Each structure stands twice: as structure tokens, then as C-alpha cells.
Amino acid sequence: MSRPRVRIYTDYKSPYAFVANKRLFALEETHGVELEWLPYTLRIAEFMGTVEARTPHFWRKVRYAYMDARRQANAQGLVMKGPRRIYDAFYASVGMLFAQAHGFFRPYHDTVFRKFWSHELEVDDLAAITGVIASCDGSPSEFEAYVSGPARAEHDRIIEEAEALGVFGVPTMVFNGELFWGGDRIDMLIGRIEKPETIEAALGSRHRK
């Protein structure tokens, strides 16, 4: 009998994705689900605008968001230092895909999140990500060949598929076609895993069988 599958879209530069990891991985043990992790590489400038154009209201939201994520990180014993600049996490994202294909996803995933948020890793530096691949016993040459070969097309296809589903941020969990955005929706996701039939009442006329 196949296990229920939960797809998780994540991005290494998202503080809320970082602090959601522990509860999401726990679902494998507590609810017997299969987790499918995919990158949704946030394009910061696209939804936040240029730094120069951001208003005082915006910066208050940003400061609150990092404070909120940091207190969640502290509760888990995680180090979270504010990002030093705007990053393009493409190399880290395709590293996730490479690690999955070669059987070392979890150590790669944990290492990239931990090192990025402790200022030990630049996620947009190919050499740095290749170093993480090597530390997980992956092949640096094979990874670099993947990056210069099919990685971009695979990455962009995953993003397009995610957006066709309605994904716009991370972490986003997808279960039976229903989206749950943010760590504060994990309890709702758990409720649906335990009682899948409740989706009809929850979504009402928006539920499609």
C-alpha cells in the first residue's frame, strides 16, 4: 500500500522555510507520509521591488518577519543570522535536485540551510555549493556537468509547474492537490492527512473532485 504523499516547495533563503523543516520531516514518522521536496526559488525583486522603492511600512514588516522567524529558530536551537544581501539561490536549488537523484538529499538539505543562516555559505556561489556536494560524498564534476547541462531547464519547469498549481511562496505543502502555505498551516495539513475527506467541507464550492 502506497503512503500518502506531501509535496513541499522550499527555498534555502527563506527563514520560514528553514524553521518549518523539523515539523515537516517529523511527518514521515508521525503520519507515515512520503515527502517530496522541490525547489521554489524565490525571485525577491519580483515581489518585494527594488530596495530603493521600499517604504517604511515595508521595512517594518521585514523586521517583524525576521524577528518572528528568529524566535522560532531559537526555540529549536537553530542559529539564524539575517541575510547580508539579496541572493539568487539557483545553484543551491539545483543542488537539492542533484542530491535527491544521488541519494544524499537530507545531509545536503540540512547543511545548506544551516550554513546559509549562520553566514557560512553563499548559496549563489557555484564553488561553495559544489563544496557542499563534495562534503556529502557527491561528485563535484557530475554536479558541475549537471549545472551546465539540464539543470536550468529542470529547475524552471518545476517553478512553472508550481505556479500552475498556485504556489507563490515557501514553504508551501501540497496534499491531494490542496495547498498549505507557511509553517503555521502545518497543523491544518496534519488534519487533512488524518481525515482527507474533510477537504470537501473545508473548500466548499471550490473543491474539485
Domain boundaries along the sequence of the chain:
5-206
Mean pLDDT computed over 48-53: 59
In tens, the pLDDT along 116-146 reads: 999 999 999 999 999 999 999 999 999 999 9
| The CATH number fitting domain 5-206, selected from 3.30.300.20, 3.40.190.10, 3.40.30.10, 3.30.70.2750 | 3.40.30.10
The H or E element that residue 105 is part of is helix 105-117
Beta strands in the chain (DSSP E): 5-10, 34-39, 172-175, 178-181
Return d(Cα 55, Cα 64) in angstroms, integer.
Answer: 14
In tens, the pLDDT along 159-204 reads: 999 999 999 999 999 999 999 999 999 999 999 999 999 999 999 8
Instruction: Please choose, from the candidates 153, 157, 108, the residue with its C-alpha nearest in 3D space to the C-alpha of residue 130.
Output: 108
- Check residue 51 and give its pLDDT: 59
Q: Which three cell numbers stand for residue 136?
A: 556529502
Listed range (13-22, 37-46, 176-185) with the worst mean pLDDT: 37-46
pLDDT at 102 over 80: yes
- Local confidence band at 48 (pLDDT 50, 70, 90 cut-offs): low
Listed range (58-67, 100-109, 140-149, 178-187) with the worst mean pLDDT: 58-67
pLDDT at 49 over 60: no
- Local confidence band at 57 (pLDDT 50, 70, 90 cut-offs): confident
Provide, rounded to the nearest whole percent, the portion of the chain with pLDDT above 70.
94
- Check residue 125 and give its pLDDT: 98
| C-alpha dihedral (58, 61, 65, 68), degrees to nearest 10 | 160
- Check residue 32 and give its pLDDT: 97
Listed range (48-62, 86-100, 113-127, 132-146) with the worst mean pLDDT: 48-62
Other beta carbons within 10 Å of 99:
23
